[in-house]
Amino acid sequence: MAIEYGVDFNGLHLIATVSGALGMTEVSGLYTNMVKSVAEQPDALLVDLSRMVVTEPLALAVFTAANRQATRWPGTPMVLCAPQQATCELLNGPPFRHLAVADSLAAACDRLAGDPAATVLALSDDLLPIRGAARHARDLTTEACLRWDLPNLVGPACLIATELVSNVIDHAHTMMTLNVSLRSRYLHIAVRDGSPEQVGPPIGPPPATGRGRGLLLVDATAQTWGCVPSADGKVVWASLRRPTN
């Protein structure tokens, strides 16, 4: 039976249910689905494995890859829940021991209740793909940084927000959502648009004019950045390290 993937929201966390037989041929599709769930920027992602069996143990690496992306951005804790006995034994092995595993969804919720990584402060707004959007993005980003007592991040965060929004205006030409969020270690700036076309690190020399330099500036300013698919397009995100007191 092929892998089936469904999502639900329990009022606190996003719950993804994986059912069917997991082999190597299912890895790519499952990874994409989990990354799309992460792109919703939930407080936490609980992955219900109670109806999943593993036909090829190496395929469990898909959860390592998805967890790595969730950790990079948006910092979402991911917990694998209620695996069957055989799957649980595999997850307890050295390759996967770093993954968070809970006996049940309820146990996962209890664990997350005391996890500061599951606490998120966020501001967001929908923007039209017009020039005034960049100014509004700077205003929202400034408000977020000052509200969360991060004055030293106003400059770099506004630069990143401006360039990500301008990139949508210049290339995607769709409605977009700017989200500025704060977790325990990083300030995240993310822009979601309606174009599935992925973007990556700039290659080659910078353009001679200002146009097209946006992602170079993001690359130079952010601690890390990237692009992931979403349910209706993509999210381009960047992270700035939160200053330590």
CATH homologous superfamily of 120-241 equals Histidine kinase-like ATPase, C-terminal domain (3.30.565.10)
- pLDDT score, position 208: 54
Question: Using CA atoms, how far apart are residues 145 and 180, in angstroms rounded to an integer?
Answer: 9
Fold exhibited by the domain 4-117: Transcription Regulator spoIIAA (3.30.750)
Residue 181 and residue 74 in contact, taking contact as beta carbons nearer than 8 Å: yes
Binned average pLDDT, 10 residues per bin, the chain of 245 residues: 90 94 97 97 95 98 97 94 97 93 95 78 97 96 98 98 96 96 95 94 60 82 97 97 86
pLDDT the model gives residue 203: 64
245 vs 232: CA distance, rounded Å = 39
CA dist 86 to 7, 78, 92, Å?
24, 20, 10
Residue of 22, 41, 38 whose CA lies nearest to 30: 22
Q: 185 with 75: CB under 8 angstroms?
A: yes
